Structure 1
């Protein structure tokens, strides 16, 4: 989800928000032993973050995480 500027920080009922921290938005997945680290546009990010790739390899199969690093 992309950030969007608003005039007021007030949220509509039944809505939630979180601060936008500087960093990279990424999706990591483990499927049949294959680890993928991709940007929201699908760009492969694994080679740029070998330490994350090493740690993700310890996650169970069929895991998917979305977050900012």
Structure 2
């Protein structure tokens, strides 16, 4: 489920907490090239070099979608 922007969070005292950490991303490996992009197609590899390095060990034609 995608989040939606609101002008102001409405939380009861002791209610739910906002989650500010994490990035949704797609990593794909094709012919040895690793691509890491956001849901809005922003290149994320420079900010997450360790994920790109680890994904380089995946087999070709691999695609993963998730939160990091």
> Which TM-score applies when normalising by structure 1?
0.71
Q: Kindly report structure 1 stretches of 4+ aligned residues shifted beyond 4 Å.
A: none
1: distance between equivalents of 2:63 and 2:41?
14
* Secondary structure at 1:51 match in 2: helix
Which of structures 1 and 2 has the bigger CA Rg? Answer: 2
Note the residue ranges of structure 2 that are not aligned, 5 or more in a row: 5-18
RMSD, aligned α-carbons: 1.7
Deviation at 1:3, TM superposition (A): 2.8
Aligned pairs for 1:1-69 within 5 A: 1-3=1-3, 22-69=21-68
> Which TM-score applies when normalising by structure 2?
0.72
